[in-house]
Amino acid sequence: MIQDIWRLLLPILVFIGFVIAGYALRIFLNVYLTGLAKKTKTKVDEIIIDAVKTPIVVIFLLAGVNFALGLADFVPAQVTQYLPTVFSVVIILIATLAIGRAIKGILIYYGLTRPNLKSLVPLLSKISKFLIYFIALVLILRSLGIDVTALVAGLGIAGIAIAFALQETLSQFFSGLYIMTDRPVRIGDYIELESGQKGYVVDVGWRSTRIRELPNNIIIIPNTKLAGARITNFYLPDKETACLVQVGVSYNSDLEKVERVTIEVGREAIKRVEGEMPGFDPFIRYHTFSDFSINFTVILRVKEYVDKFLLTHEFIKALHKRYKKEGIVIPFPIRTVYMKREH
């Protein structure tokens, strides 16, 4: 009698044990691991935990059913012999859905945190979904005892043929991925191309990158060309940059006075246009004895590249006015010619 009761109770106890273990693991994920994940800088770990915590309970529930029915004497042998196969197929399906949900959440997260990846999120979601479902199909067929070698080989050959047919498109796509991951340029950056064209990066797509010039024209560059080109990014390592102005004064000038007056004007111009620039003071460097003047470079600073146009404008106006007041001459281009008189 006791043995009969035990044979009935054992499957039930095994099932209950698996259910308790599943819920205990879920509580552990919710309380402990989620708390640790919130302390990290990224939300990727939170997305993964959120995607797997419910499937884990379902997997433990199914595992409990599988083991309980395997221990139950009243279940026909024709049923129990198929239980491992059914259990494997269901586990693969649940794991596939959980992984797909996690990858989709991660892609959406990176699309929100990195705007230049946003346009690729739908495409990458479809590619990842196809790969996950294909792998799940292969695993299910293998668990059912079906040989999948021919299927995998056929799909491999078809993939190679498609890759050759779409070689140019794939080249553009992977170049776009390189630009988005390595980030030599980012949306909003002001850059200069090898051709000398300059503008703001407004979009990095999977085939091309769009740059808006200051006159509001759009330059469309294939990603392969942009990935292999030399680019000047005026926003790296940061937006602040030097503003260089070339000036020349006459040979009769007092160079000490010229330096002092020029720096004063530069300091006032920066403050008027850019506001306070802590840690920077304008300076000049003499560099050339030219035909009619002594030339030097005035080094100013702006908060971003396009501000140099306004600062240069205001600085030249103020410098011209101040030089006139101080008696400093900016000479016209002149040339002295000595005529040799023959007797």
Q: Stretch 164-174: mean pLDDT, rounded?
A: 65
pLDDT at position 7: 57
- Angstrom distance (rounded) from CA 129 to CA 107: 12
Residue 197 predicted with pLDDT over 60: yes
pLDDT at position 250: 93
CA–chain centroid gap for 336, Å, is 60
The number of helices, as runs of H, and strands, as runs of E, in the chain is 11, 8
- Angstrom distance (rounded) from CA 84 to CA 63: 10
Instruction: Read off the pLDDT band of 318 (50, 70, 90).
Output: very high
Residue with more model confidence, 231 or 27: 231
Tell me the percentage of the chain whose pLDDT exceeds 70: 77
Instruction: Read off the pLDDT band of 242 (50, 70, 90).
Output: very high
For 241-326, CATH gives 3.30.70.100
Instruction: Read off the pLDDT band of 246 (50, 70, 90).
Output: very high
**249 close to 326: Cβ distance less than 8 angstroms:** no
- Angstrom distance (rounded) from CA 140 to CA 148: 10
Which spans in 29-73 are helix H? 34-38, 44-71
Residue 169 predicted with pLDDT over 80: no
**190 close to 200: Cβ distance less than 8 angstroms:** yes
Q: Cα angle vertex 306, ends 301, 308, to 5°?
A: 35
Instruction: Read off the pLDDT band of 72 (50, 70, 90).
Output: low
Instruction: Read off the pLDDT band of 121 (50, 70, 90).
Output: confident
* One-letter amino acid of 297: T
pLDDT at position 257: 95
* One-letter amino acid of 61: L
Residue with more model confidence, 69 or 183: 183
pLDDT at position 311: 94
Identify which of 167, 137, 170 has the alpha carbon closest to the alpha carbon of residue 152: 137
* One-letter amino acid of 56: I
Q: State phi, psi for 14 to the nearest 5 degrees.
A: -65, -45
Q: Stretch 188-217: mean pLDDT, rounded?
A: 89
How deeply is 18 buried, as exposed, middle or buried, from its count of CB atoms within 10 A (0-12, 13-18, 19+)? buried
Annotation: CATH topology of 184-233 = SH3 type barrels. (2.30.30)
Residue with more model confidence, 331 or 7: 331
pLDDT at position 70: 64
The angle that helices 149-165 and 167-182 make with each other, rounded to 10 degrees, is: 90
Mean of the per-residue pLDDT values of the chain: 80
Which helix (H) or strand (E) segment holds residue 123: the answer is helix 121-143
Tokens read off for 97: 């859905």
Identify which of 90, 57, 63 has the alpha carbon closest to the alpha carbon of residue 71: 63
For 238-273, give the DSSP string.
-S-EEEEEEEEE-TTS-HHHHHHHHHHHHHHHHHHH
- Angstrom distance (rounded) from CA 126 to CA 107: 11
- Angstrom distance (rounded) from CA 104 to CA 124: 9
